[in-house]
Amino acid sequence: MGKLSVKHLIGIKDLKPEDINLILDTAQTFKEVINRPIKKVPSMRDVTVVNLFFENSTRTRLSFELAEKRLSADILNFTASSSSVSKGETLIDTVNNILAMKVDLVVMRHPKPGAALFLSQKVNSVIVNAGDGTHEHPTQALLDAFSIREKLGTLKGKKVVIVGDILHSRVALSNIYCLQKSGAEVMVCPATLIPKYIEQLGVKVETNLINALNWCDVANVLRIQLERQDIKYFPSLREYIMQYGITLDILKKLQKKIVIMHPGPINRGVEITTEVADSDQSIILDQVENGVAVRMAVLYLLAGQPVG
Ligand code: CP
């Protein structure tokens, strides 16, 4: 078995292309395992994992929990709102108290960018970033890459456009790093929700949705993250839908049949219509299915690394 070059999974920025390949290939093996009648393997027996969620989640949280169960790990689930964090306990104190109970690995979602890196520098445990504010969401990018590879056979030379709220999206940044390191070309659309210096990441920028969709093999559509917006970036939701909402009519008029992805949660009727989300071009539920195998691969590969 190969080894990762990192001890923690903080962001895709830290990974080498070989790390990404190793994770995707290991996930392929685990996908076969979880489609067998007996879905469980003993790979993480006697390893204890805590899932620390300081922010809401449906997919990531359940997917990590299922991945841990499929690997036979022992699991603790922690929700900030029902913990002593509400009494003023710090993040480091909280985690060190959990680690004192002989926990080996921490999966953490946190609203603050940099929280996962900070924790990895302050506590003696393996840290897996399950999304830190507007920074990175590495396992989402890995499951997206896995899903494109599964659908199109390879990532090399494929053209992927990320449509929507790039500015507030950790999924966008992790996807840009992951796709580029895997040999894909990346475009972002639209204009007012894009960070000022995005071109420095080597991505194309296209403000016209139809041009962007005609260019790509895959469109990864993001929702408008109103909870992270402190000012208005477009006049109204109605106008956003008119300019950037993806409809079946738009898909039918394109020069080729593209693949539609979305990390979820979807706002049906805003960035994507119900007909598009549920169409045969959409691989949204494949992404969710693949998330379990990809997270199994990440946990398995990191649990085999020494902490330090
Ligand atoms: N894609 C994603 O991170 O979804 P959740 O917020 O439900 O985990």
pLDDT tens track for 205-218: 999 999 999 999 99
pLDDT band at 235 (very low <50, low <70, confident <90, very high): confident
Residue 131 has pLDDT above 90, yes or no: yes
pLDDT band at 7 (very low <50, low <70, confident <90, very high): very high
Q: Which CATH code for domain 138-284?
A: 3.40.50.1370
Q: Are strands 105-110 and 126-132 parallel, antiparallel or unpaired?
A: parallel
- Mutating to test ligand 1, I would choose from 60, 147, 220 the residue with most ligand atoms within 8 A of its C-beta, which is 60
264 Cα nearest atom in ligand 1: 1
pLDDT of residue 308: 45
In whole angstroms, give the CA distance from residue 286 to residue 267: 18
Which residues contact ligand 1 via a Cβ below 6 A? 57-61, 131, 137, 140, 263-265
**Short-list 219, 271, 259, 286, CA closest to 59:** 286
Distance 253 CA to ligand 1 centre (A): 31
Range 1-20 average pLDDT? 95
Give the pLDDT confidence of 82-114 residue by residue, as tens digits.
788 878 899 999 999 999 999 999 999 999 999
Alpha carbon nearest to ligand 1 atom 4, residue: 59
Cα-based angle 297, 203, 28 (whole degrees, multiple of 5): 20
Range 119-143 average pLDDT? 97
CATH 3.10.450.40 assigned to domain 12-136+288-303? The reply is no
> What stretch(es) of the chain map to CATH 3.40.50.1370?
12-136+288-303, 138-284
pLDDT of residue 231: 64
pTM score, two decimals?
0.95
Distance 221 CA to ligand 1 centre (A): 14
